[in-house]
Amino acid sequence: SQKIEQNSEALNIQEGKTATLTCNYTNYSPAYLQWYRQDPGRGPVFLLLIRENEKEKRKERLKVTFDTTLKQSLFHITASQPADSATYLCALAYGSSNTGKLIFGQGTTLQVKP
């Protein structure tokens, strides 16, 4: 069965450093992958989408890579700030690109210390 793994341990970094979060998957060939941010007591919020034929995507201080050979996506936040502290979820498109169905990872909690 399909499996998505994100580092369950919290990631603690110092303000100004680059945070790197990992999303690995098995038994899967997703058409695209998304990253979401979730703050306590709130629903996930979409950040970035990257398609299977794209290697890298950027948005302001965020960067996502997608390696379909390694079956891995990396999510980077450069010049991190305490306001970036949250849980980050990766989500993979399930089946063909036309279903709209996503499978979510468990999420990794990021804590940026001032």
Residues lying near another protein in the complex (CB under 8 A): 31-32, 34, 41-46, 49, 51, 89, 93, 97-107
CB of 106 to another protein, least distance (A): 4
Q: What residue type is 52 in one-letter code?
A: E
12 vs 97, beta carbon nearer another protein: 97
40 vs 114, beta carbon nearer another protein: 40
**Euclidean distance between CA atoms 85 and 112, whole angstroms:** 6
CB of 4 to another protein, least distance (A): 9
Partners of 86 in the beta sheet?
110
How many other CB atoms sit within 10 Å of the CB of residue 32?
16
63 vs 107, beta carbon nearer another protein: 107
**Euclidean distance between CA atoms 92 and 78, whole angstroms:** 23
